[in-house]
Amino acid sequence: MNKVLRIDMENLSHKWENVKPEHQTYAGRAFTSITLSEEVDPTCHPLRAQNKIVVSPGLLAGTLAPSSGRMSVGAKSPLTGGIKEANAGGLTGTKLGSLGVRGIIIEGAPPDSEDWYSILVGKDKCEIIKTNDYAGLGLYELIGKIWKDYPTKPGIIGSGIAGQRLLKCAGVFGNNIENSDPGRYAGRGGLGAVFGSKRIVAIISDGTGGTRPAAKDQEKFDAARKVFVKSLNAHAVTGRLNDDKGEPFGGLKNYGTNVLLNILSEAGGLPTKGFSSGRFDKAAKISGEAVHDLVDRTKKKFGDKAEGKYAHSCHPGCVMACSNVVPYEDTGKMHVSPLEYESVWALGANLGISVLHDVAELNRLCNDLGLDTIEAGNTIAMFMEAGLIPYGDGPKSIELLKKAYDESSVEGKLVSSGTQTAGEALGVTRIPVVKGQALPAYDPRSIKGIGVTYATTPMGADHTAGYTVAAEILGIKGTVTDPRDLKKAELSQAFQATTAYIDSTGYCLFIAFCILDDDDGFNAMKDTVDSFLGQDIEVTSYGKDILRKEREFNKKAGFTEVDDRLPEFFRTEPLPPHNVVFDVPDEELDEVYKNM
Amino acid sequence: MSADSLEIHLYGRLRKLVKGSRPDEDTVRTLEYVENETFEGLIDRLELEQSDIGDCFLNGTLVKPKNVIPKGARLGLFPFNMVLLCGGQHLKGHGYTREDVDIDYYR
C-alpha cells in the first residue's frame, strides 16, 4: 500500500505519487491528519478551494486481520473550524487497501462550475467523470444507480443532498456490503459539505484486479491475527452469537451498539429530552433488545422474505458484526441499516421519542439526505427547545426532516445546518456543542471523564475520540479514589492517544472492548500492526504524535484553551437522577494537552 | 409495594426472572428489603450465579459484591454479556465479567 492519488478539481487532473518516506507508517487518521497539517492553511475557509479532502484506508484494510477494514476521511471541518477526522466501515476501505492506495488527496475546486463530478478509482487508474445525473438524488437511489452503472460492486463514499448544498450537518455517506443502504457514515464534522464544495458527489472504488496487502513479516502477522480472532470471539461483548445451549452470547452480535441504551439509562448517563435528564423511562422500547425482538418476530412471521438481521458486518472481514438491518414490522422488509446506539439516542431518547418505527424512519431520512444522525438529532432538539415541536413527537420530527429535501425551505436548510446554527437562530440558550459540534450520547455531568474528552479533543465533542466511559462510570458521585492516582486528564489523554492509534490501523474502535480485558488480545493486535509494517510501533507515542499535529492545526486556526470548555448549562444545571453538574476544573481540562 | 421494597430492573437473559416479560418493555421485580443485605446476598436470593452477571447498578452507580443495599433502592441487573462498551473490566474491578482482576482503580 504505497500509492497516493492526488486530484486537482480546479483543472480536473490527477497524478499518482509515492508515499513520502517519513509517512511510511501513516494510514487512516494518521495519514489524514498529518497530510492536512502539512498541506492545508488552518485559516482557510473550509468550503472554498484552499481546503483539501483526504481519504485513507486504515493500515490493515484489505488484509485478513479481523475487523480492520475501516477508512478515514479528513478535512478542515465546516462545523468546527478545526481539523477533522471521521471514519467508517463499508466497502471503500477494503477496496482501496487491496488497490494499494494509501490515500486520496483532493484539492482545489472547479471555478464557477455548475457541473457535478464523481471520481472512479481502480487498479492503476483514475477517472474524473461528469455525473450531473447523480446530483440531487436521495442516497438510496444513488447507490443503486451507481451499482447498475458499475456492476463490479464498488465501494462508494460521498455527499448527499445536504453536502451538495454545503450544509454543515452533512456527513460522508458510504454504501454497505450489500449496497442496500448508504448508512456507513463518516458522519461527523460536516465533511459531506466539503465534498459538495469541490462539486464531488461520489468516490467510486473498483477493487477489480486488487490484491491482498502483504505484511513485511507474513508469518508473524498470520499467527497474530489468528490469536486476535480467537480472543475477539471468546469475549462476552465481541464474541459469537450464541453459546453452546443456543442462548444469546456476544452482546454486540445480538444487540448491536444499542445494547448501551438500557445500560446508560440505568446508570443515569443517558441524555434525555435535550440533556434535561440522565434516564429515559421508555428506553426499553427503542433498545437493542427491542430491535433483536423485532427481527426475530418478523423472521417468524415472514420466513425467507424477512430482511431484518442482527450480527450484521459493517465491512468485509468484521468478526464482531455489531451492525443490524431493522425491518418494517408490517412487511418484514428492510427499513434502515444500521440503527446504532448513537443514532437511536440522538433521534430517540434525546428527542423523547419512544416509537421504534419513528426512530428508524428518522435514521433512514438522515441516510437518504446525507446527514450525520448525531448532529441532526441534536438540531431537531433545538426546534423542540424552542417550542416549535413538542418533545416526544415523532411524526412532527419526521415532517420537519422531510423539509430538508426542499431546497427552498428555510426550515429544511436550518435542520441541515447543525445544532449551534439552529439553536442560535431559534433563540435557544441550552445548546450542547463543543467547538460547534454537538455532544453525543453520554451526559458529561454524570460521566465526567467523557466530558473531559468532549471538551479537549481537537475534533469537537466526540465520544469516539477518547472513550473513557467504562472507566468513568464509577466516578459518578464524589471523588474517584484510586491507588495509581489516575486523574481524569491523564485518563482522557491516555484514551485519546490510544484511539488515535486504533483509528490509524483500520481496526474498529470496538476491538477495545476485548483488548482492554485480554492481554493476549492486545498483544496480538499490536503484533499484527508491527509485523505488517516490519517495525515496532509504540502505541501511545504514535497516538500522541497525531494528537500534537491536530492540536497544532487548531491552534493555528485560532483555537485557544477557552475553546476547550463545555457549555455553561452543564456547569449550572444539575442532571437527574444523580443531580450532579460538570465540575471538572478548567485547570484539569488544560492538563490534558499541557505536557503532551 | 412498600416504600422500603427493592425495585429490581432486569435486562437480557435476566428478564426470565419475571414471567411474561418482554424485551421491549421494562421488566421489574420487587423484593422485600432485608437489613444489611449485600449485593452478593441479593444475587443469592434471586438464585443467580455470580457468572450470570455483567455491569449492575445500585441507584445508578455501578455496584460491587460487598455493597449494602439500602431501603427503597433501585437496582439495574444486566447479564454477563451486557456491559459498558469499551472493555476495561479491570478498571471496574467488580470482578464479575473477569474474576482475576489485579487492579481496582476505584476502591
Give the domain ranges of chain B: 6-92
Q: For residue B106, give the nearest of A262, A266, A482 by CB distance.
A: A482
Alpha carbon distance A203, A194 (integer Å): 13
Alpha carbon distance A467, A500 (integer Å): 11
* Residues in chain B closer than 8 A to A281 (CB atoms): 26
**DSSP characters over A82-148:** SEEEEEE-SSHHHHHHHTTEEEEEEE---TT----EEEEEETTEEEEEE-GGGTT--HHHHHHHHHH
Say if residue A325 is in the same domain as residue A432.
Answer: yes
In this structure, the strands spanning A101-107 and A3-8 are: parallel
Q: Kindly state whether residue A219 falls inside one of the protein's structural domains.
A: no
Task: Name the domain count of chain A.
Answer: 3
What is the rounded average pLDDT for all residues in chain B?
80
Containing structural domain, residue A560: 448-594
Say if residue A85 is in the same domain as residue A7.
Answer: yes
Say if residue A456 is in the same domain as residue A412.
Answer: no
Q: For residue A293, give the nearest of B24, B90, B97 by CB distance.
A: B24
Say if residue A135 is in the same domain as residue A109.
Answer: yes
For the beta sheet containing A173-174, the strands, ordered from the edge strand earlier in sequence to the opposite edge, are A125-130, A117-122, A200-205, A155-158, A173-174
Could you tell me which residues come within 8 angstroms of residue A405 by beta carbon, excluding any fewer than 6 positions away? A138, A161, A369, A412
Q: Kindly state whether residue A214 falls inside one of the protein's structural domains.
A: no
Say if residue A339 is in the same domain as residue A483.
Answer: no
Q: Closest Cα partner for A369 from A331, A406, A324, A338? A: A406
Q: Taking a contact as any Cβ pair under 8 Å apart, which residues of chain A between 465 and 484 contact chain B?
A: 467-471, 473-477, 480-484
Could you tell me which residues come within 8 angstroms of residue A244 by beta carbon, excluding any fewer than 6 positions away? none
Quick one: cell of B86? Answer: 469499551
Alpha carbon distance A576, A286 (integer Å): 21
Say if residue A388 is in the same domain as residue A327.
Answer: yes
Give pLDDT tens digits along chain A (596 positions). 589 999 999 999 999 999 999 999 999 999 999 999 999 999 999 999 999 999 999 999 999 999 999 999 999 999 999 999 999 999 999 999 999 999 999 999 999 889 999 999 999 899 999 999 999 999 999 999 999 999 999 999 999 999 999 999 999 999 999 999 999 999 999 999 999 999 999 999 999 999 999 999 999 999 999 999 998 888 888 889 998 999 899 999 999 999 999 999 998 999 999 999 999 999 999 999 999 999 999 999 999 999 999 999 999 999 999 999 999 999 999 999 999 999 999 999 999 999 999 999 999 999 999 999 999 999 999 999 999 999 999 999 999 999 999 999 999 999 999 999 999 999 999 999 999 999 999 999 988 878 888 999 999 998 877 666 555 543 322 333 332 233 567 777 877 888 899 999 999 988 877 776 677 888 899 999 999 999 999 988 999 999 999 999 999 999 999 999 999 999 999 999 999 899 889 998 999 898 78
pLDDT for A544 = 93
Q: Is the pLDDT of residue B94 over 90?
A: no
Choice between A453 and B31, residue whose per-residue pLDDT is larger: B31
Residue type, A6: R
Q: Which residues of B sit within 8 Å Cβ distance of A?
A: 9, 11-13, 22-27, 54-55, 57, 59-62, 76, 78, 80-92, 97-98, 103-107
* Residues in chain A closer than 8 A to B98 (CB atoms): 517
Topology of domain B6-92 in CATH is Ubiquitin-like (UB roll) (3.10.20)
Q: Which residues of B83-103 are buried (b: 16+ CB within 10 A; e: fewer)?
A: bbbbbbbbbbbbbbbbeeeee
Q: Kindly state whether residue A221 falls inside one of the protein's structural domains.
A: no
Say if residue A53 is in the same domain as residue A182.
Answer: yes
Q: How far are the Cα atoms of A55, A251, A258, A514, B94 from residue B85, in angstroms, in the given order?
A: 28, 9, 10, 10, 15
Q: Kindly state whether residue A215 falls inside one of the protein's structural domains.
A: no
* This model's pTM is above 0.80: yes
Q: Kindly state whether residue A232 falls inside one of the protein's structural domains.
A: no
Say if residue A466 is in the same domain as residue A382.
Answer: no
Q: Closest Cα partner for A169 from A346, A328, A326, A6? A: A346
Which of A438, A465, A487 lies at the terminal end of a domain, its last residue?
Answer: A438
CATH number at residue A575: 1.10.599.10
Which of A385, A409, A438 lies at the terminal end of a domain, its last residue?
Answer: A438
Say if residue A387 is in the same domain as residue A503.
Answer: no
pLDDT confidence tier of residue B1, bands split at 50, 70 and 90: low
Say if residue A186 is in the same domain as residue A287.
Answer: no
Q: What is the DSSP letter of A371?
A: B
Q: Taking a contact as any Cβ pair under 8 Å apart, which residues of chain A between 389 and 448 contact chain B?
A: 446
Q: Is the pLDDT of residue B47 over 90?
A: yes
Intra-chain end-to-end CA distance of chain B, in Å: 34
pLDDT for A493 = 81
Q: Kindly state whether residue A99 falls inside one of the protein's structural domains.
A: yes
pLDDT for A299 = 98
Say if residue A316 is in the same domain as residue A177.
Answer: no
* Residues in chain B closer than 8 A to A250 (CB atoms): 81
- Search chain A and give the residue with CA nearest B63: A474
Q: Kindly state whether residue A226 falls inside one of the protein's structural domains.
A: no
Q: Kindly state whether residue A229 falls inside one of the protein's structural domains.
A: no
Say if residue A479 is in the same domain as residue A536.
Answer: yes
Q: Would you say A258 and A287 are in contact if contact means Cβ atoms under 8 Å apart?
A: yes
Q: Is the pLDDT of residue B95 over 60?
A: no
Which of A407, A438, A469 lies at the terminal end of a domain, its last residue?
Answer: A438
CATH number at residue A334: 1.10.569.10
